[in-house]
Structure 1
Amino acid sequence: MSTTTPPAPSRLTRANTWPWAVAATAFVALMCAAGFRSAPGVLIDPLHMEFGWSHSEISSAVSVNLVLYGVISPFAAALMERFGMRRVVAAGLLLVAAGSGLTVFVQTTWQLVLLWGVCIGVGTGATALAFVATVTGRWFVRHRGLVSGVLTAAQSAGGLVFLPLMAWLASTHGWRPASLVVTAGALLVVPLVVFLLRDRPSDVGIVALGAEPVPPHAPPAVVVRPAGGAVRQALDALRDASRTGVFWLLAGSFAICGATTVGLVNTHFVPAAHDHGMPATTAAGLLAVVGIFDVAGTIASGWFTDRVDPRYLLLAYYLFRGLSLAILPLLLGPAATPPIWAFIVFYGLDWVATVPPTVALAREHFGDRAPIVFGWIFASHQVGSAIAAFGAGLLRDTTGSYTSAWLTAGGLCAGAAVLSLLVPRWAPRT
């Protein structure tokens, strides 16, 4: 007869509830951070009209934002290892609130770069996708791919919630009220993070969802904090990872991912559609619909990542994305016609579906250091985003249209598909 004492019902309830509570809190923080980052897409034209700044000048602030958002990510992951997720995420949200609130006083482009670029870029970097890798790595063994997809989809949900509101505010009341909405949103999320986000399952006396339960009389788990500061941890992880071909293949493909989503479409779709006679509010609404379908597409991608070789998923995602971008110049017009709706639905399903398989490949190849290494991979994503954000604005200023930007992005996606397929097969799960 077995003498094992079954876990108490209250302990089972806590063990099953806390991981999902942490994931839900992370979802809200990521969703709001995405909303904050979506602001530039609807504010470029109002700033251009009020101050006379060129598209490339305004896009330079967006580029700084995108670069810092990515570069801060691995350091934020290391800081989370040292000080905890709760402190890092709360501090990042407060910085976003300060940067966005002070933006209403800008009079020169350098002030825009400082606030929109530096403050908000650093603040949102605390809730970058390395945060997703940290949450899923610590709190989930079962359903990791699915949860990665859900949390990644939060970024699209942020655009869905904030974009139409900010576009309406910018067109009816000016861009300053739209910027203040970001400030209010960031401040409202801070208490939720402080009270509900927990750093590790051991903090509440449980194990990660799907992990082997701890025997009743086992001593408490000891969390070993990495030696050295966060900067050293992040740089050491980069040094070691950069000696592998896998890192550069993932970083290269993910840089193209950023260039063809956040950098190009998220930043320039609204002004590009406006060039074709479409009202800015209609274009912002279409971009928000991308968020609706991206939620479904990214969650589905997480589910597939638990079952299908991630390399093949990335191959398909990049090839179809490139095709859709190459034909976009033929679809844009003054009205939301069925062809442009077809693009929005298709592109939405593919928007950040690349994240769950990329996170999975990083985890399999880099183990416990995966959150920090993925932070560096994500930094490449944002470098690609920044180059595309500035480059597309420059092309618009010099050629008078965005056509060459869309075609270039289509070709880059084909290259990303090849890079993904070259990643070595990952070790089988045990």
Structure 2
Amino acid sequence: MNFDYTEKMKSLQEKLTHFMKEHVYPIENDYFHWTHSPENFWKVWPGLEDLKAKAHEKGLWNLFLPANYGEVSPGLSNLEYAPLAEIMGKVIWSSEIFNCSAPDTGNMEVLAKYGNHEQQERWLKPLLAGKIRSAFLMTEPEVASSDATNIQCSIKAEGDEYVINGRKWWSSGAMDPRCEIFIVMGKTDPEAARHSQQSMILVPKNTPGVTVVRPLSVFGEYDSPAGHAEVLLENVRVPKSHLILGEGRGFEIAQGRLGPGRIHHCMRLIGMAQRALELMSQRVATREAFGRPIAAFSSIRQDVSKSLCEIQQARLLTLQAADMMDKAGTKGAKELISMIKIVAPRMTQTVVDRAMQSFGGMGLSADTPLAGFFGAARVIRLADGPDEVHMHQLGKNTIMKYATEATK
């Protein structure tokens, strides 16, 4: 494993860091207060398009897309993109500036890898250009969606169309006024083999029968303008050409989508933890309690040192997963991906919690990004597969491996 950065990567990291310092950090509080004002819910912050144009001009655009897709992506590997995702993670909403925001990244990868020419022309091109946004509809309220084979949304063929019926929730991005397309996972054949029942299909948001029922809050936050929605699909009809790849290929597509996405999430989380450590260190260096600088207390120094160690451990593990994915694909990297999905969100929660404690009451407020980081880390312990699912499979594989070796 060689994690030394090439000159190309060093240049991109420097450009991205400079862009964040010049354009993003100075307006971070303004963005937060504007988007959290009720009169602005489900509206786009007015300065966003200008920032996107600046990022595009600097070549900081579609950095996530591994293969060079025409001239719209630098064609970075997962290992090359990982430190860039970490830099973006230091400001939760900043990924959109560089067209690297979930769920669009995963949806664009799906269309780039599995979409046909018509689907790519109609939906991928405007997504790559940052002109529209999208949503991914998988989770359902009536079933334990940690087991995706439980999904009940039906996709039935009728003539030249598919008819879709179901209820989805935690549909990230569905509230966004710029969202024009949903990727929906449902069952085309309930009688097929367990992992061949599901398919993915493209559903334009304005299709008759699509109802965005309500936004869902996370720790009281609505995450405007993208949001997380409950969506009802009632006799929704779309042409058969909207099916992605083919019937029964839903799980295959999902694995191709979720592997890179988990690395992106984990590197953004590491960026949150890194910034929390920086803020904690700056805070304790400038405050006094009981006649001494807070930084002089042994408990504080232990918190800082443990946080530094834990961040670096998670960072190296995530880089290893990214490197393995580049070399062996999602399947070859599946155990490392499970490891980082277990480790990174918990590590971030722990480090951010320490930072919040060092700030006292201020750490609980919106005057720092820490509360937002804590919530984001907690969300990722459920998103893209809950901890328990990853630990169950990882534990099973590990026991089998060593039990088999013992019998040789």
User: Per residue, is there more helix in 1 or in 2?
Assistant: 1
User: Per residue, is there more strand in 1 or in 2?
Assistant: 2
Tell whether the structures are fold-level matches, with TM greater than 0.5: no
Higher relative contact order (CA 8 A, sep 6+): 1
- Which interval holds the TM-score relative to the shorter structure? 0.3 to 0.5
TM-score, normalised relative to structure 1? 0.33
